[in-house]
Every structure is written in structure tokens, then in C-alpha cells.
């Protein structure tokens, strides 16, 4: 699937290393930088692949996942927000709605080390079908030899959230760095893996009246 993404025709060349492409229903952002190859779906601000040059693909993406509007993608790094796991109310999507809705690419820049991208999801009629609160949700990615992801929520509410990473490993039992990865125990999670080079940060910021 990842090879298929990079073989897609370019719809818009945003910068020399950043392009917009499309797979079935979904718009994609593809990074082809001297230090890294990566891809994102605008639906869910979903990091699909991350491959530092000279390394193996770090993330796993199912070859059978459908790229259809409103259907959760299986693999990569889904953003689970504003709840993680089954919804408290019957009929609402598991792991929240953020991964199933289109986000906007708000900013991007690049340097010799890689690319930085910021995606935004704001409260709207579409989100209020699932959740009544006003919010702004930002997802920031820095991809290069390492990958840093920061999820930042603004508003007055309580949430649970996760960046539910799928790693490309043959057997987790043979990967001591994954076996010992820390679990989320507070509103802010920092988990760094020295072998994989992935840093994750989750924060919720309240509005100041």
C-alpha cells in the first residue's frame, strides 16, 4: 500500500518536497525529502508512513484498508480523540471522531533535516453530531531521521486521547524497546524509543476567560 501511495500522480506540488495526491476518496500529503519519505491522509491528519532514508519503513499500514470518506484507516498513527476506546454513548464511533473527519493543512515548512507540518480540526456541525463542545485541535508533525508528533487541544472539556501507533515489526517479543514502552498515565504522554526515534506528546489547553 505504501508503494502505491508514492506511485500516485501529483495533483498539486506544494513545495519541491511536498505534494498533494489522491487515493480513492481521500486527499493525501506526500513528503519526498532527501532525509525522509512520509505520507499523510488529510482525513484524520493521519500519518500513514514514515521512512528515514537508509532505514526500513517504521510504520505498518494494512494493504486492505479502504481509503473511503468517513472510514477509519488501519495502520500508521491514528489520532484517537476526544475519547479512546468504545464511546460512552451507543452509536458513536470507537476512538472518537477526529480520525474520521477531514482536517486542514494549516502550515508547513522544511529544512535540511526534514519537514514540519501542522494540521487543524475545528468544531463544526459535523463534530457537534458526536460531541457538543467548541474546540480547536492541532496536530504537529516533524518528520526526518526522527519523528515527533504533538497533539494540542484548546477548549473547556474533559477528554481521553491517544496516538495509536502501528509499528512495522515482525514480532513484538523480539523488540525490547517496544516491550518496555511507557503507557499513558497523565494528560501529557511522552514516549521516546531510542531505536525507532518516535516522540509523542499529548496536551489539552483550557481557554483563558
Band of residue 206 on the pLDDT scale cut at 50, 70, 90: low
pTM of the predicted model over 0.75: yes
- The answer to whether the beta carbons of residues 39 and 28 sit under 8 Å apart is yes
Q: What DSSP letter does each residue of 25-51 carry, written as one string?
A: TEEEEEEEETTEEEEEETBTTEEEEEE
Q: What is the mean pLDDT of residues 125-129?
A: 95
| Exposed / middle / buried, residue 48 (Cβ in 10 Å: 0-12, 13-18, 19+) | buried
Nearest-angstrom CA–CA distance, 156 and 133: 8
Q: Where does residue 95 fall: left (phi above 0), alpha (psi -120 to 50 degrees), or beta otherwise?
A: left
Q: To the nearest whole percent, how much of the chain has pLDDT over 90?
A: 68
* Integer-rounded Cα radius of gyration of the chain: 17
Per-residue pLDDT reduced to its tens digit, 34-54: 999 999 999 999 999 999 999
Residue 81 near residue 93, CB atoms below 8 Å? no
With beta carbons less than 8 A apart as the criterion, state whether 48 and 59 touch. Answer: yes
CATH number of 2-205: 2.70.98.10
Residue spans of the domains in the chain: they are 2-205
Amino acid at each position: 500500500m505504501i508503494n502505491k501511495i508514492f506511485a500516485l500522480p501529483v495533483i498539486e506540488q506544494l513545495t519541491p518536497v511536498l505534494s498533494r495526491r489522491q487515493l480513492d476518496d481521500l486527499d493525501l500529503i506526500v513528503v519526498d525529502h532527501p532525509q525522509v519519505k512520509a505520507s499523510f491522509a488529510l482525513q484524520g491528519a493521519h500519518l500513514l508512513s514514515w521512512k528515514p532514508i537508509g532505514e526500513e519503513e517504521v510504520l505498518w499500514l494494512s494493504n486492505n484498508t479502504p481509503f473511503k470518506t468517513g472510514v477509519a484507516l488501519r495502520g500508521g498513527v491514528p489520532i484517537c480523540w476526544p475519547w479512546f476506546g468504545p464511546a460512552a454513548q451507543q452509536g458513536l464511533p470507537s476512538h472518537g471522531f477526529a480520525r474520521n473527519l477531514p482536517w486542514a493543512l494549516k502550515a508547513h515548512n522544511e529544512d535540511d533535516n526534514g519537514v514540519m507540518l501542522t494540521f487543524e480540526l475545528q468544531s463544526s456541525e459535523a463534530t457537534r453530531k458526536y460531541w457538543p463542545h467548541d474546540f480547536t485541535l492541532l496536530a504537529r508533525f516533524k518528520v526526518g531521521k526522527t519523528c515527533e508528533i504533538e497533539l494540542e487541544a484548546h477548549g473547556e472539556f474533559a477528554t481521553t486521547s491517544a496516538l495509536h501507533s502501528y509499528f512495522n515489526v515482525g514480532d513484538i517479543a523480539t523488540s525490547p524497546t517496544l516491550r518496555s514502552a511507557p503507557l499513558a498515565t497523565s494528560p501529557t504522554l511522552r514516549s521516546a524509543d531510542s531505536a525507532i526515534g518516535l516522540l509523542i506528546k499529548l496536551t489539552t489547553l483550557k481557554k483563558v476567560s
